[in-house]
């Protein structure tokens, strides 16, 4: 995967976190932010989908785009 793709995935993941952070516990938000910071996008994606699933809220559309770019579907 090209460096530009990783940068776009990271941007989309950060935007996703921003859209849902008020609905996440502080620790969950911090964990996701840390995973994104260290390039652990798959783990961050899993948390960004798991928590909304448990809370019965929709995922951000940008998260779906990031998942598609990574070959992951929600």
Q: What is the mean pLDDT of each run of 10 residues along the chain (74 residues)?
A: 88 96 93 97 95 89 95 78
Cβ atoms of 35 and 44 within 8 Å: the answer is yes
* Structural tokens at position 39: 């390039």
Residue 32: which domain range? 3-70
Determine how many CB atoms are found less than 10 A away from the CB of residue 46: 15
When divided into structural domains, the chain yields a total of 1
Which region holds residue 39: left if phi is over 0, alpha if psi is between -120 and 50, else beta?
Answer: left
CA distance 33 to 13: 9
Q: What is the pTM of this model?
A: 0.88
- Identify the pLDDT of residue 74: 59
């Amino acid at each position: 995967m090209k460096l530009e793709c990783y940068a776009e995935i990271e941007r989309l993941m950060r935007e996703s976190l921003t859209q849902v952070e008020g609905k996440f516990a502080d620790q969950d938000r911090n964990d996701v932010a840390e995973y994104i910071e260290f390039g652990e996008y798959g783990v961050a994606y899993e948390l960004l989908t798991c928590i909304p699933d448990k809370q019965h809220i929709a995922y951000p559309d940008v998260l779906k785009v990031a998942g598609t770019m990574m070959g992951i579907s929600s």
